[in-house]
Amino acid sequence: MTERMIGAPVPRTEDARLVTGRGHYLDDLGAGAYEVAFVRSPHAHARITSIDVEAALDTEGLVAVYLYEDLTGKVAEPLPLLIPHPALTHGRTAYPLAKDVVRHVGEAIVMVVATDRYRAEDACERITVEYEFLPPVVGIDKAAGGEHLVHADVPGNVAAHMVQEVGDAPAAIAAAPNRLELQLDIERSACMPMEGRGVLARWDEADASMRVYTSTQTSTGVRAAVAAKLELPLDRVEVITPDVGGGFGVKIVHPWPEEVLVPWAARLLGHEVKWTEDRREHFVSSAHERGQLQTVRVGFDDEGRVLGLDVEILHDNGAYTPYGIIVPIITSTQLLGPYKPGAYRVDFRSLYTNTVIVTPYRGAGRPQGVFAMERTMDAIADHLGRDRADVRAANFIQPHEMPYDHGLLFQDGRPLIYDSGDFPASLDKLKKLVGWDDFEVFRAQARAEGRRVGIGIGCYVEGTGVGPYEGGHVQVETSGKVNVATGLTSQGQGHQTAFAQVVADELGVPFEDVSVTTGDTRRFGYAVGTFASRAAVMSGNAIALAARKVREKALRIAGEALGADPGDLEIVDGVVRVKDDHSSAIPLGTVAVLSNPLRYAFDDASKAATQFGGNADPSRPPVAEDDEPGLEGRDFYSPPRATFANGMHAAIVETDPETAEIRVLRYCVIHDCGHLLNPLIVEGQVHGGVAQGVAGALYERMEYDENGQLLNASFMDFLMPYASEVPSVEIDHLETPSPLNPLGIKGAGEAGVIPGAAVLASAIEDAEGFPITRMPIQPSELFHLRRRHAAGEIPPLRRVRTAPEEFPTA
């Protein structure tokens, strides 16, 4: 009997090539291709007055230099606005090469093609661009002030203004027995995959076709964009995603300017052309996320139940809005977490600044939303003198209330309806795991040793597996080997393993016989992409459905061959057999032979399918009218709406009384993503997410100066954590299946990162005894907050005032 693969911690198929250096990432391809470097703007906001390339022209190895004026056809038009929205009244996108005005440091102005990257950079250095400076708009305050404009035709720098309301929140707050207002601030970070972006294009003149390799999260998206921009028929463009060295969101944006320019130049030059992003380019010309200012007004009863919640968000979207307003929409809807506020109003303005664009980074607006909500929960608990976990529990949506309709519209344009989840059970598990109820004993012990510790908690709900669809194709070869394809791409999530597990179980074949291809438009042309924790849910289910079709066909054909009712057959280890009589059996490979009537035999197996080889009924056509040759199947999964995963994290921190150094002593995670396809992979996703959550809370920020210069645009200065900074992560799972899809699964990719800033703010606040309202927080900032607190500028928490002996004196 085949062991069940779904749910097993199967080691990954991918690793065999990746641990031996046999993977192929973008820059590993295209030996001999011309290479591209860009002259990028050193100024945040300026008008280009002249570009002089003369001095570059005799650079050894130079092939071509392109300015905006050289671009032709649709390549000269602004890049597409990928996700239009009625509230995005002033959407603006960049040109592939700057036209007249640059709006952030790093915007591409000149494209240089040379025989290698060294020489391309030599030429870039010899090109002189002159500028007339325009006033830079940096920071949300400056943007909201509207004194200077990022785009001359966008008044007040407001790209979008959106309000969603359920009930009358201001009235509910006014009538509530208790009221609070919080001002919160969360700064920018970025995806920062270890491999930057990169594109390789090969034009085949004889075939009039374009092949593009790109380090993307959506090969079908890039294909459609390249076809449109280069005005090629879709069937003349193929896009292949090689191994991708991490994405975390930044590679879902498409087409990046380089994804248009590189194929365009490859066609023009009749030669392979490649661009590989370097680290500085990634800092200043890809994308960032997170930056928001939030004002929260809340009214609540004496149990801490929220009666009305009114949130205003100022969101920094950077210089352009190619990805629309997905991030602030997610913040404003997912802010609600596992709670049901009596009335809710959320108002966001998405603002232009002269900085790098803002597009989804793992979590995609949720970390900010959860920060707002969880800071509010802590503030309510403190105000009432109640346990922070109890206040959360008082606001939970209960299991019997599922599915729960919030009455809002989610990022997919569908109603925000939670499908399942058991929040009280999650909280119980978390409290046990971290030892919530015993923490005061630990605090007292630590205090006796002169140590300062605190505990924090954060809860979230995450809409995963958003539509519109993904597809899967499953094909059994005559050898019995199974080829599986899905269109979305992989950046380290182990899809080749997880999807093979699904097919092994659904079809009844050995796991080792299944090979999976992702992100290759030659193999599967219909797909959306890998984002929003959707790959397992979308492609996993599509592939399961496709495998079921293949199984059905295999049973039918085998039934005819064995003279048995398909209902009496089963497929085990790649062999179709009669359930009660295992001697009556036929291998799937032979079924594949029978499924494809042949005229020509090319090997022993195929002889049986030729016209004189079998004993087919001569009165019927070899392929029935409603049938197709081949043992293969294709199907799609398109959900009515997202499925909502959830989780709760707790952390214990220690803050040094002298140096204000912050150490995470424990980090505990309860995670519910429904059934687990592969626990090894799911836990790996949680680990990586938590590390990014801790990073965003304690280390990483984009340090822009007032002129729009990114001061820390290198790994030397941007503090991405090493193993020495990331705490051990303790995980426990709850498995509340989704009723929405055949496999009962929910997405897991982003979960770990979401409550990081909220949990650590909660824990640091608990250690310090005064409110923490701004993240990330580094020791120097905590040190200054302590001074302000000591000077009376920051009032203590209420619980410090009521039990001062339990907290440190500042």
Partner 1 sequence: MTDTAPPPTTTGAQEEELHPIRLRVNGVLRTAEVPARRLLSDCLRHDLGLTGTHVGCEHGVCGACTVQVDGRPMRSCLMFAVSAQDHEITTVEGLERPDGTLHAVQRAFRECHGLQCGFCTPGFLNVIAAFLEENPKPSEEEARDAVAGNLCRCTGYQNIVKAVLRAAELRLEEQVDEDAPVEVDEVAR
> Which of 5, 6, 27, 137 touches partner 1 by CB under 8 A?
27
Show contacts with partner 1 in window 311-330 (CB under 8 A): none
My answer on whether omega of the bond before 629 falls inside 30° of 0, hence cis, is: no
Radius of gyration of the chain (CA): 29
My answer on whether omega of the bond before 155 falls inside 30° of 0, hence cis, is: no
> Based on CB atoms, which residue is closest to partner 1, 243 or 258?
243
Is residue 221 close enough to count as binding partner 1 by CB under 8 A?
Answer: no
> Which of 18, 163, 174, 444 touches partner 1 by CB under 8 A?
18
Other CB atoms closer than 10 Å to residue 209's CB: what's the count? 15
Is residue 53 close enough to count as binding partner 1 by CB under 8 A?
Answer: yes
Binding mask 534-573 for partner 1 (x = CB under 8 A): ----------------------------------------
CA distance 540 to 743: 8
> Based on CB atoms, which residue is closest to partner 1, 365 or 689?
689
Helical H segments across 278-365, by residue range = 279-285, 326-334
Cβ within 8 Å of residue 716, ≥6 positions away: none
Decide: helix, strand or coil at residue 591: helix
> Based on CB atoms, which residue is closest to partner 1, 303 or 717?
717
Exposed / middle / buried, residue 580 (Cβ in 10 Å: 0-12, 13-18, 19+): exposed
> Based on CB atoms, which residue is closest to partner 1, 245 or 771?
245
> Based on CB atoms, which residue is closest to partner 1, 71 or 313?
71
> Which of 136, 454, 689, 771 touches partner 1 by CB under 8 A?
689
> Which of 49, 398, 728, 780 touches partner 1 by CB under 8 A?
728
CA distance 553 to 441: 64
Q: What is the dihedral of CA 437, 441, 442, 445, to 10 degrees?
A: 170
Residue from 337, 338, 335 nearest 310 by CA: 335
> Based on CB atoms, which residue is closest to partner 1, 224 or 668?
668
Show contacts with partner 1 in window 341-400 (CB under 8 A): none
Is residue 128 close enough to count as binding partner 1 by CB under 8 A?
Answer: no
Helical H segments across 134-256, by residue range = 140-145, 169-175, 219-230
> Based on CB atoms, which residue is closest to partner 1, 471 or 727?
727
> Based on CB atoms, which residue is closest to partner 1, 198 or 487?
198
Angle between helices 366-384 and 756-768 (to 10 degrees): 30
Show contacts with partner 1 in window 55-94 (CB under 8 A): 57-66, 70
Smallest distance from partner 1 to CB 686, Å: 8
CA distance 125 to 128: 8
> Which of 4, 19, 552, 703 touches partner 1 by CB under 8 A?
19
> Based on CB atoms, which residue is closest to partner 1, 290 or 553?
290
Smallest distance from partner 1 to CB 773, Å: 27
632's tokens: 């293969």
**Count, residues near partner 1 per rule CB under 8 A:** 70
My answer on whether omega of the bond before 776 falls inside 30° of 0, hence cis, is: yes
Smallest distance from partner 1 to CB 581, Å: 40
Smallest distance from partner 1 to CB 125, Å: 12
CA distance 497 to 514: 9
Detail the DSSP E strand segments found in 115-217.
128-133, 158-166, 178-186, 198-204, 209-214
> Which of 91, 136, 139, 193 touches partner 1 by CB under 8 A?
193
> Which of 255, 328, 337, 688 touches partner 1 by CB under 8 A?
688
Smallest distance from partner 1 to CB 123, Å: 10
Please state the length of the chain: 810
Show contacts with partner 1 in window 105-124 (CB under 8 A): 115-116, 118
> Which of 3, 16, 175, 629 touches partner 1 by CB under 8 A?
16
Binding mask 693-712 for partner 1 (x = CB under 8 A): --------------------
Residue from 508, 486, 458 nearest 751 by CA: 458
Smallest distance from partner 1 to CB 497, Å: 10
Show contacts with partner 1 in window 261-280 (CB under 8 A): 269, 271, 278-279
> Based on CB atoms, which residue is closest to partner 1, 116 or 732?
116
Exposed / middle / buried, residue 446 (Cβ in 10 Å: 0-12, 13-18, 19+): middle
What is the distance, to the nearest Å, from the Cα of residue 33 to the centroid of all Cα atoms in its chain?
Answer: 31
Smallest distance from partner 1 to CB 250, Å: 11
Range in contact with partner 1 (rule: CB under 8 A) among 98-106, 189-197, 651-659, 785-793: 189-197
Residue from 539, 530, 536, 642 nearest 252 by CA: 530
Smallest distance from partner 1 to CB 723, Å: 4
Smallest distance from partner 1 to CB 717, Å: 9
Range in contact with partner 1 (rule: CB under 8 A) among 38-46, 459-467, 581-589, 682-690: 682-690
> Based on CB atoms, which residue is closest to partner 1, 89 or 728?
728
> Which of 7, 684, 737, 744 touches partner 1 by CB under 8 A?
684
> Which of 244, 670, 673, 761 touches partner 1 by CB under 8 A?
244
Binding mask 437-476 for partner 1 (x = CB under 8 A): ----------------------------------------
Decide: helix, strand or coil at residue 126: coil
Residue from 807, 307, 408, 317 nearest 644 by CA: 408
Is residue 11 close enough to count as binding partner 1 by CB under 8 A?
Answer: yes
Is residue 281 close enough to count as binding partner 1 by CB under 8 A?
Answer: no
Angle between helices 541-562 and 495-503 (to 10 degrees): 40
Under 8 Å between Cβ of 66 and 97: yes
286's tokens: 């890809």
> Which of 101, 102, 139, 195 touches partner 1 by CB under 8 A?
195
> Which of 22, 522, 663, 788 touches partner 1 by CB under 8 A?
22
Show contacts with partner 1 in window 472-501 (CB under 8 A): 491-494
Smallest distance from partner 1 to CB 62, Å: 6
CA distance 204 to 176: 69
377's tokens: 């929960």
Roughly how many angstroms between the first and final C-alpha of the chain, as a whole number?
66
Q: Could you tell me the maximum CA-CA distance found in the chain, to the nearest angstrom? A: 97
Smallest distance from partner 1 to CB 583, Å: 39
Decide: helix, strand or coil at residue 662: strand
333's tokens: 């809807």
CA distance 135 to 150: 9
702's tokens: 């984009």
Is residue 200 close enough to count as binding partner 1 by CB under 8 A?
Answer: no
CA distance 792 to 796: 9
CA distance 540 to 498: 8
Residues that bind partner 1 (CB under 8 A): 11-12, 14-16, 18-25, 27-28, 31, 34, 53, 57-66, 70, 115-116, 118, 192-195, 243-246, 248, 269, 271, 278-279, 491-494, 680-681, 683-684, 687-692, 714-716, 720, 722-724, 726, 728-729, 752
